[in-house]
Chains A and B, each alone.
Chain A
Amino acid sequence: MQSGNFLRNIWIIMKREFAGYFGSPVAYVFIVIFLLLTGFFTFYISNFFEAGQADLKGFFQWHPWLFMFLVPAVAMRLWAEERRLGTIELLLTLPVTVTDVVLGKFLAAWCFIGIALALTFPLVLTTMYLGNPDMGVIFCAYLGSFLVAGTFLSVGSMTSALTRSQVVSFILAVVACLFLILAGFAPVTAVLSGWAPMGLVDLVSATSVLSHFASISRGVLDVRDLLYYLSVMVFMIFVNGVILQNRESA
């Protein structure tokens, strides 16, 4: 009964949010820009055709960097907008728990990004036409990319709950995502390994989405990587709920 209500509430909130995306230009702008940018990076920077390899490495490697800007743009309105409009007051006085609402909103946004990601399918078809790619690797890379997006989204959702200004939320989220990327970015770890003990370098790079993304996008589905993404998301969503429950103003 209780869990039935839980899922039902999440579903109803998800539906409303989802309709909201496609009822405003946000959705279309996001999808078009995401597709244009992935196309640009894949073909002009990674030189997809000239590389002569039937894999999508040159496509996926850009995802964390693109998501770093695009996902906070989706996430920034999640709570800041509700607070600005005052609709948060109605939402949180409905007979639903904060968990229902936070999860409903998060999942709606994540599914939306998932759709944008799925719309890159022509690239997969092209690769299949041109060569004989390893579909397992491509599947894993999509999964990894989806998880990176979810991780950034949970960060953005949390920063959105902190403020009623979408701009502030966006900047905070980008900085946090940048940190999550840079901690495992080769030039940064190189600087660090010059003086810090090996253990510390490993620890810092273990907090990075990049190092976990690298192994998944090679086709290695490691429980530790999945655990990393899920635990960051759960933690951020939890903090998001705590922030909402302890807010001192509308």
Chain B
Amino acid sequence: MIEVRRLTKQFGKHPAVDNISFSAEKGEILGFLGPNGAGKSTTMRMITGFFPPSSGTVIVGGSDILTQSLAARRKIGYLPENAPVYPDMTVSRYLDFCAEIRGFGGAAKKQRVGETLERCFLADVRHQAVNTLSKGYKQRVCFAQSILHDPEYLILDEPTDGLDPNQKHEVRLMIREMSATKAIIFSTHILDEVDSVCSRAIIIANGKVVADDTPDGLRRRSISHGSVVLTVTGAATDDIQQRIEVLDGVASVSVVESDGERTTLRIFPDDPAVPVADRVIASANQDGVRLASVFVEQGRLDDVFREITTGIRP
């Protein structure tokens, strides 16, 4: 388990990270969200032991990153932002170096490096210098470095930044694949990624944790969560709006779009947990009125994210 305890980092007078606490268990994929400059990278740099915190500490699998730094760092794999790798080295030389410094030698080193090259689809470019590789490959080389020693804890700072959609997909697959035996913390500002990969998400803003929940739980905070979006043809807008507004369990109805022929309404329920879609459909279903589409909104992470980090209700 990674335990972040009251972590604070002061740059001058300004606190970049302000008294953050959270933890990640093995088997968990923790998404680390926040606007640029919220303190994501700074927090990760403190977890990995690159920055000493101003106060607080991090316990990595029972080892304190400040007092048992080497033991803690052995258990961590780290992919820094922008995936830095020595440009003059070839891919396999670089991974050899990483394996050696992590204590592998001889046959074990060869096997590790070979396996990692295969796993990250780098076998074809193993003898190329890193500065001849594309951004996607560089990212993979750095990713390879972070999983080379099969660490129990993976800290990934924007692992899909700058990759094309296929490469993003591959990286997400790899992250999911590895999650069974590891605790993974990764930062991103792609909210879809949180949905498809994370089991839990933490949102930070101005150096503070402002939300710590599952992706579903976060979505439930959205104002549109549980609302019914209904599109009908062949009915007067005012008419159908009034008819639905008086139904039990309906709090309010707003017109999303109306062009005379086609009307789209959003129906907000009193309680998002009590479904109103069936009643809405029954009430709309009349002579001459045809249902074009109806769906229940799950809520949008974008809205929640904006609301939580800026305080503005969309």
Answer whether residue B255 sits at the interface, using C-beta atoms and an 8 A cutoff.
no
Q: Which B residues touch A89, using CB under 8 A?
A: 45, 50, 78, 80, 84
B-contacting residues of A (Cβ < 8 Å)? Answer: 9, 12-13, 15-16, 19-20, 23-24, 85-87, 89-90, 92-97, 245-246, 248, 250
Q: Which A residues touch B81, using CB under 8 A?
A: 86
Answer whether residue B167 sits at the interface, using C-beta atoms and an 8 A cutoff.
no
Given contacts A93-B48, A93-B49, contact A20 B84 (CB under 8 A): no
CB distance from A194 to the nearest CB of B (A): 47
Given contacts A23-B88, A90-B80, A90-B84, contact A96 B50 (CB under 8 A): no
CB <8 Å contact, B101 and A96: yes
CB <8 Å contact, B100 and A12: yes
Q: Who on chain B is nearest to A26 by CB?
A: B88
Q: Give complex CA distance A96, B74 in Å.
A: 9
Q: Which A residues touch B142, using CB under 8 A?
A: 90
CB distance from B109 to the nearest CB of A (A): 11
Give the total number of A-B pairs whose CB atoms are below 8 A apart. 65
13 contacts between A and B (CB under 8 A): A12-B97, A13-B101, A16-B86, A16-B97, A20-B86, A23-B88, A23-B89, A86-B80, A87-B84, A89-B80, A90-B84, A92-B50, A97-B70
Given contacts A90-B80, A93-B73, contact A245 B52 (CB under 8 A): yes
CB distance from B304 to the nearest CB of A (A): 31
Q: Who on chain A is nearest to B87 by CB?
A: A85
Q: Which B residues touch A19, using CB under 8 A?
A: 89, 93
Q: Give complex CA distance A112, B81 in Å.
A: 32
CB <8 Å contact, B73 and A87: no
Q: Which B residues touch A12, using CB under 8 A?
A: 97, 100-101
A-contacting residues of B (Cβ < 8 Å)? Answer: 11, 45, 48-50, 52, 70, 73-74, 76, 78, 80-82, 84-89, 93, 97-98, 100-103, 142, 145
Q: Give complex CA distance A19, B94 in Å.
A: 11
Q: Give complex CA distance A12, B76 in Å.
A: 20
Q: What are the 10 tightest A-B residue pairs by CB atom distance, in nearest-first order?
A: A86-B84, A89-B80, A95-B73, A93-B48, A95-B74, A87-B84, A23-B88, A12-B100, A95-B70, A16-B97
- With beta carbons under 8 angstroms apart, the residue of A13, A90, A245, A248 that contacts B78 is A90
CB distance from A77 to the nearest CB of B (A): 11
CB <8 Å contact, A86 and B101: no
CB distance from A161 to the nearest CB of B (A): 15
Q: Give complex CA distance A110, B21 in Å.
A: 45
Q: Which A residues touch B49, using CB under 8 A?
A: 92-93
CB <8 Å contact, B82 and A20: no
Q: Which B residues touch A246, using CB under 8 A?
A: 52
CB <8 Å contact, B101 and A94: yes
Q: Which B residues touch A16, using CB under 8 A?
A: 86, 89, 97
Q: Which A residues touch B78, using CB under 8 A?
A: 89-90, 93
- With beta carbons under 8 angstroms apart, the residue of B11, B86, B101 that contacts A9 is B101
Q: Who on chain B is nearest to A20 by CB?
A: B88
Given contacts A19-B93, A85-B84, contact A90 B101 (CB under 8 A): no
Q: Which B residues touch A97, using CB under 8 A?
A: 70
Q: Give complex CA distance A193, B76 in Å.
A: 60
Q: Give complex CA distance A13, B88 in Å.
A: 15
Known: A13-B101, A87-B85, A90-B85. 10 other contacts (CB 8 A): A9-B101, A15-B97, A19-B89, A20-B86, A85-B84, A86-B80, A86-B82, A93-B50, A94-B102, A97-B70
CB <8 Å contact, A94 and B73: yes
CB distance from B212 to the nearest CB of A (A): 25
Q: Give complex CA distance A245, B49 in Å.
A: 11
Q: Give complex CA distance A72, B102 in Å.
A: 31
CB distance from A79 to the nearest CB of B (A): 14
